[in-house]
Structure 1
């Protein structure tokens, strides 16, 4: 059997990224339900008032379902971006649950990157020319996410869990800074996405995946951390699309 050509490999990776990104809504809703069930024992409230929460989850599942089945994928990708933006804004202004500032940065920057992924990467489903405004806005959101990956808590986690200590931390800060600049400026987007597609799985595995550290040491709720892992996996899907389809 002949080895797959470069074009076939890129197409497979692009389709894999699309598969991950379009299913993000399902995992996000599931992890939110598990998080709110986890809070029920301590009588803590969900991030969004209950009547609106059902509407929000219904919209998320609807968009994810239509994208998964290939029905008007481009439009429902934009719809998913709008739904997540409204949900994130509602949870922020509602202030039903208190989060530390550093955790807010982690949560909202990842939500912003997913929104950017739907706006920028989601257009792999296009049958018409891409919208330049959606392209540039989505890229900026991904750039902001990369800047936020250099927060104090992230740096502490890198030092504790990645071999190389301060030297490796400095290299990572420079790398994320350069990648952020690429996304914010619109230069070398495909190359930046290819580099990020290699680095991000390591971050998910070595940093996000250390549930004991975040849950026990940083007091992040278990299912909130699982939700954040899902965000980064969704971002990885969007990055795969950009890396191969650009």
Structure 2
């Protein structure tokens, strides 16, 4: 039996990335429901007022369902980007729940990157049998959003004590390694923002992100007990990073 070619392997990874990103809405809604149930026990409010929350979740599940079945994927990916953008903006201006500044950077930058991932999907990237040309403007905008997310990661590594300690506790080499990681994320951010070597930058990020997800985000004891991040909020943030990983896989493998 002949070994699969590199093109077939890339196509498989691209499909896997699209699979992850199109199912993001289901996990996001589930973790939101669990988070708000967790808050109900201590009489804390959800991020969005209740009547609008149901419409928001309904729109998210609707877009995720149609994207998962491949029905008008470009249109519903664009709808998912709009839904997440409106939801994030509503939670930001609503100020029903107080978050620390460093946690706001983590939450909103990841949401922005997932929106960028949906825009990449809406451009036509990740389609196995592409019948229409990709919309370059949508893909470029999505790449810029991912680049902004990486800039926020560099900012957090420099100015957030909580983020710095999360890396220092698991990364050998101390401050020097932390500086090198900041340099790496900054270089990748410039690539996404400028549109140069995006595929190479995506391939590097596709290797780095699972490590960050496993060793940094996966340290639930640190985030929940030491930094007082709500348990389901941390799982929600992990889901955001998984969605970003799906978008990066598409950019890394779709020719």
State whether structure 2 residue 186 is matched by structure 1 residue 177: yes
Q: Residue 53 of structure 1 aligns with which residue?
A: 53
Q: C-alpha distance in 1, partners of 2:131/2:209? A: 29
Q: C-alpha distance in 2, partners of 1:21/1:78? A: 13
- 5+ residue gaps, structure 1, are none
Q: 1:142 aligned to 142, 146, 170, which one?
A: 146
TM-score, normalised relative to structure 2 = 0.94
Q: Residue 210 of structure 1 aligns with which residue?
A: 219
Q: Residue 22 of structure 1 aligns with which residue?
A: 22
Q: 1:129 aligned to 129, 133, 154, which one?
A: 133
Q: Residue 65 of structure 2 aligns with which residue?
A: 65
Could you tell me how far 1:239 is from its partner in structure 2? 0.3
Q: C-alpha distance in 1, partners of 2:152/2:172? A: 22
Q: 1:221 aligned to 227, 230, 243, which one?
A: 230
What RMSD, in angstroms, separates the aligned Cα atoms of the two structures?
Answer: 1.0
Q: 2:176 aligned to 162, 167, 170, which one?
A: 167
Q: Residue 193 of structure 1 aligns with which residue?
A: 202
TM-score, normalised relative to structure 1 = 0.98
Q: C-alpha distance in 2, partners of 1:217/1:157? A: 10
- Count of matched residue positions in the alignment of Structure 1 and Structure 2: 246
Q: Residue 98 of structure 1 aligns with which residue?
A: 98
Alignment of 1:101-112 (within 5 A): 101-112=101-112
Q: Residue 2 of structure 1 aligns with which residue?
A: 2
* Residues 155-204 of structure 1: per-residue CA shift (max 9 Å, x gap): 23111221221121111011000000000001000000000000000000
- Cα contact 2:77–2:121 (8 A) shared by 1: no
Could you tell me how far 1:75 is from its partner in structure 2? 0.7
Could you tell me how far 1:225 is from its partner in structure 2? 0.1
- 5+ residue gaps, structure 2, are none
